[in-house]
Chains A and B, each alone.
Chain A
């Protein structure tokens, strides 16, 4: 059965802290792994990862994929209150479907 697991499910930090969010997966036909940030309405796309070991970076956010160990991490450095959201990991099962993880709820306190 295809599945995506995220950890932790919930995390509370203070501004300035660095956080690492984890996503592991088991799917039949991996094509890519996607990270989204969901605050209120539609999730906002952050990264798409297809190759192992290549870090993608956008400002204070970065992510990397390990296709051998079947996981990805999302790092956020120098967190701000605006980073508070649910971070979703999803795996594209080669165009057949998406498998979403349960999300990690990040709360950044001032």
Chain B
């Protein structure tokens, strides 16, 4: 099956620093990738849709200047949490679209901001 990886798996940082999370599709090319954030009670919130070669599409309420997304190639999208604060601590999960309407999820990145 298709594999999507994320790096790092777990990151702890100080408040005010920036953190970059990578999402890679290992065995297929993905024009579109998605970034999610997990909230309490296991709900997943879609943050943005990352499109290769163009600007990401952010969901309402998500600050695009705080959560920078770059989809530099067909196999890599990055999410940078700028000036992270403790309230940004969460699980960030990406998925990559292989075929239309078929997404493969990454294992998630746990961000802890002290």
Contact = CB atoms under 8 A, between A and B. Distances in A.
Contacts of B105: 88, 90, 98, 100
A68 interface: no
A105 B45 CA distance: 21
Interface in B82-114: 91, 93, 101-105, 107-108, 110
Contacts of A100: 104-105, 107
25 contacts: A36-B44, A38-B103, A41-B59, A42-B36, A42-B43, A42-B44, A42-B46, A43-B44, A45-B41, A45-B42, A45-B44, A48-B42, A86-B101, A86-B102, A93-B107, A96-B10, A97-B107, A97-B108, A97-B110, A98-B91, A98-B93, A98-B105, A100-B107, A102-B1, A103-B103
B29 to A, nearest CB: 18
Contacts of B41: 45
The residue among A34, A43, A96, A105 with the most chain B CB atoms within 10 A of its own CB is A43
Interface in A93-110: 93, 95-100, 102-103, 105
Interface of B: 1-2, 9-10, 36, 41-46, 59, 91, 93, 101-105, 107-108, 110
4 A-B pairs with least C-beta separation: A100-B105, A97-B107, A42-B46, A41-B46
Given A42-B46, A98-B107, 19 more contacts: A41-B59, A42-B44, A45-B42, A45-B43, A86-B101, A86-B102, A86-B103, A88-B105, A93-B107, A95-B110, A96-B9, A96-B10, A96-B110, A97-B108, A97-B110, A99-B107, A100-B105, A102-B104, A103-B103
Interface of A: 34, 36, 38, 41-45, 48, 86, 88, 90, 93, 95-100, 102-103, 105
